[in-house]
Amino acid sequence: MIERKDIETIVIIADAVCYSKDKVNLYSREPDRAIKSNVDSLITNFSKIFKNVVFYDNPEHFLSNISLHKRDIIFPYWHGEKSRNKQALIPSICEAGNLIYIGGDTYTNIVCCDKILSKDICRLANIKTPKHIVINNKISNIDLSSLKFPILIKPTYEGTSIGITQKNLFFKEDKQSIINRINILYDNLEQPIIIEEFIGGKEISLSIIGWNDRIKAWGAVERYCPDNDNYFETNLHSFRDKLYNKINLREGNYLMPKKVLVKLFQLFKWLDKVEYLRIDGKLIDDVFYCFELSHDTTFNPKGAFFTPFYYEGYDYLGVLELLVNNCLERYNNQHPN
């Protein structure tokens, strides 16, 4: 058994990018990568838990030094840029090197990065998702007869609402405009495009830490617009909304029906080595529609992953300690000798 006191060093692998909000565009991937200020917060606070904090800013550097970290714990925070496998790289390296690492394995990261696979997993877990179709290339015609308006158009592999503006939302059929929007997204992002029925309602993020059916902590927040409490009835959470922090968070545990939580916790168990997860969706009359399984959280101390735990009495450092202890508990359960 490996105890917390046996580990002196944590290793963080992260992009640590800096960018100007005025210089990025709708298709820039910098806002979806690990931001330097968030990495700095992790380093500062992990220094209060561990004797040493080692930081690598790319997978190659980590891989070339992997022999130095056989007795350390690894914190994958690498988001990469364009590859659909970007979040899965560090967990794969850790598994190949038989290293202890915090968070989801390769499978979990692949599923959560792919909105199509996420919908399939949710459906198998009896969790509702919006009805959708998938477009795999540029098109000149489209059959939307299987969907009900309004509909929204979004890329499959991106986070931080990259490629998404209110123009991606269509309240009535305008076939040529819809085709144009699909092709613009495909030209700029080169990946499958999802067209799904838009669900209006309260937008919820649920954060979970634990392993298997041992939920250590969970909490929910509601996203809201200070100027319009019904914003998400008719609007998307767009790239600009996120870039300029136009949407706020408030406590949302009381909104979550027990029957919904049971299903979401079962999904968490099903993913197995996930350890932490943010589940985003809409809540309408006690029915939850899942939009996204987010394991590639930004780890912004004020963001949607951490904030729910603050309402449960944790502070930022306390959540990081919980992530470390939870990882070691699961590891020891899986490797008892």
pLDDT computed for residue 82 by the predictor: 75
Query: Pick from 204, 198, 185: which is nearest to 132 by CA?
Result: 198
Tens place of pLDDT per residue across the chain (337 aa) = 898 889 999 999 999 999 999 999 999 999 999 999 999 999 999 999 999 999 999 999 999 999 999 999 999 999 887 777 888 999 999 999 999 999 999 999 999 999 999 999 999 899 999 999 999 999 999 999 999 999 999 999 999 999 999 999 999 999 999 999 999 999 999 999 999 999 999 999 999 999 999 999 999 999 999 999 999 999 999 999 999 999 999 999 999 999 999 999 999 999 999 999 999 999 998 999 999 999 878 899 999 999 999 999 999 999 999 999 999 999 999 988 7
pLDDT computed for residue 75 by the predictor: 98
pLDDT computed for residue 59 by the predictor: 94
CA distances, 39 to each of 25, 104, 293 (Å): 23, 19, 22
CB 69 within 8 Å of CB 234 = no
CB 73 within 8 Å of CB 102 = yes
pTM of the model: 0.96
Instruction: Kindly tell me the sign of the dihedral angle through the C-alpha atoms of 222, 226, 228, 234.
Output: negative
Give 128's DSSP letter: B
pLDDT computed for residue 157 by the predictor: 93
Task: Say what angle helices 89-96 and 106-113 make with each other, to 10 degrees.
Answer: 170
pLDDT computed for residue 124 by the predictor: 87
What are the two backbone dihedrals, phi and then psi, of residue 188, each rounded to the nearest 5 degrees? -85, -25
For the chain, list the domains and their CATH numbers. Answer: 4-103 (3.40.50), 111-127+200-334 (3.30.470.20), 132-197 (3.30.1490)
Q: Which residues contact 70 (CB under 8 A, 6 or more apart)?
A: 97, 98, 99
Angle subtended at Cα 276 by Cα 272 and Cα 279, rounded to the nearest 5 degrees: 95
pLDDT computed for residue 269 by the predictor: 96
pLDDT computed for residue 7 by the predictor: 97
